[in-house]
Amino acid sequence: MARGSFSRRPTVRDRALCLRRYRYGESSLVVRVFTRSHGQVSLLAKGAYRMRSRYFGVLDLFDTLGLEWRASRAELGSLTGGEVLERRRALSADLDRYRAGLHVLELVALGTREAEPDPGLFQLTLDTLDALAQPDVEPELARLAFDLAFLAQLGLKPALEDCASCGRDLSRERAKLVPVSYRAGGRLCTDCATEEGGHRSPLARQALGNLKVAQSLMKTPIAALGRTRIAPASQEGLDRFVQGFAEYHLETQPRVRTVRRSTSPGPALPPTSTRASAS
The domain ranges of the chain are 11-87, 90-158+200-274
114 close to 41: Cβ distance less than 8 angstroms: yes
Residue 120 DSSP symbol: H
Point out which residues pair with 227 in neighbouring strands. Answer: none
CB 96 within 8 A of CB 77: no
Q: How many residues does the chain have?
A: 279
**Which residue in 92, 104, 113 sits closest to 34, CA to CA?**
113
Q: Which CATH class is domain 90-158+200-274?
A: mainly alpha
Could you read off the pLDDT tens digit of each residue along the chain, which spans 279 residues?
Answer: 444 444 567 889 999 999 999 999 888 999 999 999 999 999 999 988 888 888 888 999 999 999 999 987 767 899 999 999 999 999 999 999 999 999 999 999 999 998 899 999 999 999 999 999 999 999 999 999 999 999 999 999 999 999 999 999 998 888 999 999 999 999 999 999 988 876 666 788 999 999 999 999 999 999 889 888 889 989 999 999 999 999 999 988 877 664 444 433 333 333 333 333 332
Helices (H), 136-231: 139-153, 190-198, 208-219
CB count in 10 Å sphere of residue 10: 9
The count of C-alpha atoms lying within 13 angstroms of the C-alpha of 198, restricted to the half-sphere facing its C-beta, is 6
Asked if the 11-87 domain carries CATH number 3.30.420.340, the reply is no
